[in-house]
Structure 1
Amino acid sequence: MNTGLQKYFPMIRTRAEVLAEIQNQPKLSGNFQNWKKEQQEEFLDCVTGAKGVKILYDAFFKEIMNPETTPERLEQFLSLVLGESVKIKCVLPTDNSRIADESSLLIMDILIELEDGSLANLEAQKVGYMFPGQRMACYSADLLLRQYKRVRGEKGEAFSYKDIKKVYTLILYEKSSKEFHRFPDEYLHWIRPVSNTGIRLEWLQEHLLIPLDIFRLNLQNKGINNELDAWLTFLSADEPEMIEQLIKTYPQFKPMYQQIYEICRNTERVMELYSEELKILDKNTVQLMIDEMQDEIDGQKRRLIQKDEQLIQKDEQLFQKDKRIDHLSLENEQLSRQYKQQMQEIERLKRELAGQKQ
């Protein structure tokens, strides 16, 4: 009898079936044994439906949200987050010479041109710490420059800066950085240029940041209330109960899960995908630890500099006190001499007075 997600997706295999296939193929068995126990359990839970598959894994996301084969899915998602109807004109190749350092915890990268000529770059990050505002600005500038070069080349002398359309940088964070946790009720952060006077000009760069971990916290309290909530649940939730609720309320997601579990039937392919994700995670966990240690070292260095400055200030204060003490000592010495002189003068005057009386 099918239980859990198998009720909805009969192609999901049992734990025993998956393990039997792995054990019968030396290559798969060797890879499986190289994983840690918790990694083995996570893999088995995902492919057997005990837990949902992580949709943001590169291969799964690009398969399910492929703008070339199923553009309507990405169009629907972008329409909801951008707040306007979106039609994908074409998928643009990623530029190998782009500014960004792709060794970070980058999960996927989809670059598309919309029907109105605007460009949208959709990225996902496992760790928000690795995608600070500076990097986001570079991505956006890179995207704008690419459009500028292309449009100027096409238009030639007829080129006008008004020919340049907006560029959107959309970032999905699986685990957001501490800045986002200052806003526990917000998970859609629009960043647009704003003037101090209210003047409105046609700015071209816009950013939308979506911390999925904060969305999940809100989901536990508020539930799925609209279609955008449904999409964010699809992208972030791996609890079977939540997936069951999602496909009952929004059945358009069921074919996407079916596609995912069809992929999971290819054990060798899914194990290769999972191994690649583990390699990226291990590599970047080390990098994250190095960065955190460097931050700690930099913090200690700043504190040492501050203490040195405080010592210098204290030395200066002591020096000034010593100067005042020296000055007071000099004054005391001068007063003492004056006192002695005055006493001597008084004694002289007394003798003179006594002589006059005699």
Structure 2
Amino acid sequence: MDIVIELADHSVANVEVQKLGYMFPGQRSACYSADLLLRQYKRVKSEKGKAFSYRDIKKVYTIIFYEHSPKEFRCCPECYVHRAAQRTNTGIRIDLLQEYAFIPLDIFHSILQNKGIRNKLEAWLTFLSADSPELIGQLIQEYPQFKKYYEEIYTLCTNVEKVMGMFSKELQQLDKNTVQYMIDEMQDELDAKLKELQESEERLEEQKGKLEEQRGKIEEQQDLIAKQNAQLLEKDADLQASQEEIRRLKALLCGMEENRKK
């Protein structure tokens, strides 16, 4: 959902809510901001005619709420508002008009669950994102002014066409292409994992074949060892028989020698 609003100082803000954060949040936001700035330029120049001056162009804010934030924001689990603006490296003041605020609501709700509503900013974010009756009750109890805001939102939702702003067809197509890109990338990841799984299965089958081959070799070696043990036992029996024969002959020889001496 996108809502384009004009602030009290005539600057323009695009407030966008994304249920699932798109990929390329920086590039996408820059394109939206540029489109909004260009549309303001065309409108103001058309209204002012020859009296037009670049001084008439006001700031453009791009404010994006993420229900499920992109991975870029996961590295800062303690931060739920990320502001960005263009600055010069020397510090000289040049008003480049475009500013951004990225608000990952899933991270905010994790902090809210642990620490509660601590200030008015968090009260506003709770108002904009919470649907839990307990949280809404807590919010109204701590900040009673939000009760009338809920009533206004209910009235607003009955005639939402008046406040909805649509961006150019090019950016709509860009969003469509981005979604398709995300789908294609997920499909590529699935294909890569499937290929990796198939390769793992092939390696497993190869290792299984090698194990079977090694098992066969081990069985052959066991048979050979059994045969060698049998041969050793047979030789040991022959050796013992030979030793018995030698002892018998020695005894016989000793008896003959004694008879000769007599």
Instruction: Establish whether TM, by shorter chain, passes 0.5.
Output: yes
CA contact (8 A) 2:80 2:107 kept: yes
CA contact (8 A) 1:129 1:177 kept: yes
Mapping of residues 245-260 of structure 1, within 5 Å? 245-257=138-150
* One-letter amino acid of the structure 1 residue matched with residue 8 of structure 2: E
TM-score with structure 2 setting the length: 0.58
Q: Deviations over 1:206-230 (max 9, x none)?
A: 1111111111111122211111111
Which shifted more, 151-160 or 175-184?
Answer: 151-160
Q: Displacement, 1:233?
A: 1.0
* One-letter amino acid of the structure 1 residue matched with residue 89 of structure 2: N
Mapping of residues 1-358 of structure 1, within 5 Å? 108-130=1-23, 132-257=25-150, 290-294=183-187, 296=189
- Shift in CA distance, 254/156, structure 1 to aligned 2, threshold 3 Å: closer
Cα distance in 1, alignment partners of residues 192 and 52 from structure 2 = 49
Q: What RMSD over aligned residues (CA atoms) do the two structures have, in Å?
A: 3.2
- Shift in CA distance, 165/263, structure 1 to aligned 2, threshold 3 Å: closer
Cα distance in 2, alignment partners of residues 263 and 144 from structure 1 = 27
How many equivalent residue pairs?
175
* One-letter amino acid of the structure 2 residue matched with residue 116 of structure 1: D
Q: Displacement, 1:258?
A: 5.5
CA contact (8 A) 1:125 1:131 kept: no
Cα distance in 2, alignment partners of residues 184 and 255 from structure 1 = 32
Q: Displacement, 1:156?
A: 2.4
Match of 1:103 in 2: none
Q: Displacement, 1:164?
A: 1.1
CA contact (8 A) 2:117 2:123 kept: yes
- Shift in CA distance, 125/249, structure 1 to aligned 2, threshold 3 Å: same
Cα distance in 2, alignment partners of residues 234 and 261 from structure 1 = 13
Match of 1:55 in 2: none
Q: Displacement, 1:171?
A: 0.8
Cα distance in 1, alignment partners of residues 180 and 109 from structure 2 = 27
Match of 1:34 in 2: none
CA contact (8 A) 1:111 1:121 kept: yes
TM-score with structure 1 setting the length: 0.43
Cα distance in 2, alignment partners of residues 236 and 248 from structure 1 = 17
* One-letter amino acid of the structure 1 residue matched with residue 12 of structure 2: L
Q: Displacement, 1:298?
A: 9.9
Q: Displacement, 1:297?
A: 7.3
Cα distance in 2, alignment partners of residues 186 and 109 from structure 1 = 23
Match of 2:231 in 1: none
Cα distance in 1, alignment partners of residues 62 and 102 from structure 2 = 8
* One-letter amino acid of the structure 2 residue matched with residue 127 of structure 1: L
Q: Deviations over 1:234-286 (max 9, x none)?
A: 2222333222211111122234445778999x9xxxxxxxxxxxxxxxx9xx9
CA contact (8 A) 1:109 1:123 kept: yes
- Structure 2 unaligned residues grouped into runs of 5+: 159-175, 194-262
Q: Deviations over 1:64-105 (max 9, x none)?
A: xxxxxxxxxxxxxxxxxxxxxxxxxxxxxxxxxxxxxxxxxx
Secondary structure of 2:145 counterpart = helix
Among all aligned residue pairs of Structure 1 and Structure 2, give the percentage whose two residues are the same amino acid.
68
Secondary structure of 2:74 counterpart = helix
Which shifted more, 125-134 or 175-184?
Answer: 125-134
- Structure 1 unaligned residues grouped into runs of 5+: 1-107, 267-282, 301-358
- Structure 1 stretches of 4+ with a deviation exceeding 3 A read 255-264, 286-289, 297-300
- Shift in CA distance, 262/146, structure 1 to aligned 2, threshold 3 Å: closer
CA contact (8 A) 1:128 1:173 kept: yes
Report which of the two structures shows the higher radius of gyration computed on alpha carbons.
Answer: 2
CA contact (8 A) 1:110 1:122 kept: yes
